[in-house]
Amino acid sequence: MRGKLSKMSEKRNIRDHKRRLLAAKYELRRKLYKAFCKDLDLPRDKHRYKLSKLPRNSSFARVRNRCISTGRPRGVDEFFRISRIVFRGLASRGPGIKKSSW
């Protein structure tokens, strides 16, 4: 099971990827409606209604950083998108990264 995704973590990664795509698609629209809601001169109800009609998964708050190799949700480096455990395993095998001790 090491290094390979289980069925459940694979599903989670796919779900997270779909959420990222939806969030990117509706990002401008969502920001526009939120700006209209904050404006005191404009009617809020209409824009709040439009904001509530957008898909739930289009919110960036629902996107979770997950490791692309194991699906682990915690301890994930944003730049590499791998968990600290996978990173340490890859670093110990390959050249260029040295474990620090002081």
What are the domain boundaries of the chain? 1-62, 65-96
3-class secondary structure, 76:
strand
Q: What pTM does this model have?
A: 0.72
- How many alpha carbons lie under 13 Å from residue 28 in its C-beta half-sphere? 1
Mean pLDDT of the chain: 86
Q: Which of residues 10 and 24 earns the better pLDDT score? A: 24
Q: Is the pLDDT of residue 29 over 90?
A: yes
Q: Which of 9-13, 25-29, 67-71 shows the highest mean pLDDT?
A: 25-29
Which tens digits make up the pLDDT trace of 81-100?
Answer: 899 999 988 888 878 887 77
Tokens of 20: 């990222």
Identity at 59, one-letter amino acid code: S
